[in-house]
Amino acid sequence: MEIVSQVLLVIGGLFFLLGGLGVLRMPDVFNRIQAGTKATTLGAFALLLGIGFMYPTWFLKVGIIIVFIAISNPIGSSVLAKASYKAQGAPSNVVQDDLKEFLGGTEDVG
């Protein structure tokens, strides 16, 4: 059990590192949102599961945190993506933009 827990903890740490690195190195806002959200969500899952395997009596509490993160993190990133689109428009290299006619045209200021 301890081995499983420690492996999961290291995996979680690695994905948090990947999230930070992704936010640092991706080229535009939407790619940063994608990298940050995916990597930190899986990192949080792995790390919390590792803690749960180490102390099995905490498993329900850990499960509640996992469910909350699984629901709230993608919603937050969707809200941020929509807000970024409204604030600075699409990046210059898009090939198709269906969102423009829905949200209305904003001039490219970003």
Residues 38-77 that bind other proteins (CB under 8 A): 38-45, 47-48, 50-51, 54-65, 68-77
CB of residue 101 vs other proteins: minimum separation in angstroms?
Answer: 9
**Near other proteins by CB under 8 A: residue from 1, 4, 86, 108:** 86
How many angstroms separate the Cα of 70 from the Cα of each of 6, 59, 90? 22, 16, 27
- Any contact of residue 19 with other proteins (CB under 8 A)? yes
CB of residue 72 vs other proteins: minimum separation in angstroms?
Answer: 4
- Any contact of residue 4 with other proteins (CB under 8 A)? no
- Any contact of residue 36 with other proteins (CB under 8 A)? yes
Q: How many residues bind other proteins (CB under 8 A)?
A: 89
Q: Which two tokens stand for residue 64?
A: 């509640």
How many angstroms separate the Cα of 106 from the Cα of each of 69, 79, 82, 85, 110? 32, 17, 12, 8, 11
Query: How far is 28 from 110, CA to CA, in rounded Å?
Result: 10
CB of residue 93 vs other proteins: minimum separation in angstroms?
Answer: 7
Handedness of CA 100, 105, 107, 110 (dihedral sign): negative
